[in-house]
Structure formats: structure tokens, C-alpha cells
Amino acid sequence: MSKKERGKELGIIGEDIACHYLVRQGYKIVEKNMKNFVGEIDIVAQKDDLFIFVEVKTRDSVEYGLPLEAITSRKQKKIRDCAVSYLKYKGLYNKVFVRFDCVSIIGADDNFKIEHLENIF
């Protein structure tokens, strides 16, 4: 398996772990891997009257840095723009409260650490 294929597989596993984690924390998963013409958002979740756009970053080790370090200002703008487009399409723009979170996962197999950071940008 190539490094790129392994990274994609690890990302899918991380998103599944993040979804299970969020559900256990009382969140409702509205969409997973939501794509539109602007970009992609890993998870759209809802809790009470809040829509949460979640970026999931998964690493099998910290050898190449912490997962959160991959969320650059450019990536943040792309996520925000994608979220605005999503909310407008759904007729929710200026009608719901919004938050941007990150779920960071470090590890592999059944040995991993989850960190959920709320309102990161």
C-alpha cells in the first residue's frame, strides 16, 4: 500500500472514530464527507440549536507533527466558505448558530487518543 493510500485509509478510519465519539457525546451526525462546489467538510453535526462543522485530523504518530498543525489559515478559510455555502443551500444561513471544531486522533488500531477542540476558529 502506498503512503497516499495509507493516508486516505487512515483518514476514513479517523472520521468513523470521530463520528462514534461525537454521538457518544450527544451530537447528531447530520452529514459526513459533505462536498459542494467550494470544498469538503468532514462532519456536519448538530447539538441543540448549534450546527458544528468538524474537521477531523488523524495521524498514526506525531513524527510529522500534531494533527492540528495541518489546519492552516487557508484551510480554515476553505472550511468557513464551504460551511457558508452549505448553510445557504439548506436555507439555514443567518438562522442557526455555528461552531467550528476539530477532532484530532493520534494512534492506530485500537490504541489511539482523541482530542476534541471546540470553536477552534
Over the stretch 79-114, which tens digit does the pLDDT of each residue have?
999 999 999 999 999 999 999 999 999 987 678 899
> What is the reported pLDDT for 1?
76
pLDDT at 16 over 80: yes
pLDDT in tens, 66-76: 888 889 999 99
Could you list the beta-strand ranges (E) of 1-121. Answer: 28-35, 40-47, 50-59, 97-108, 111-117
> What is the reported pLDDT for 3?
75
Phi, psi of 54 (to 5 degrees): -115, 125
Spatial contact of 40 and 30, defined as CB atoms under 8 Å apart? no
pLDDT in tens, 27-53: 999 999 999 999 999 999 999 989 999
Phi, psi of 22 (to 5 degrees): -65, -40
Spatial contact of 55 and 18, defined as CB atoms under 8 Å apart? no
Cα–Cα nearest to 26, from 48, 2, 55: 48
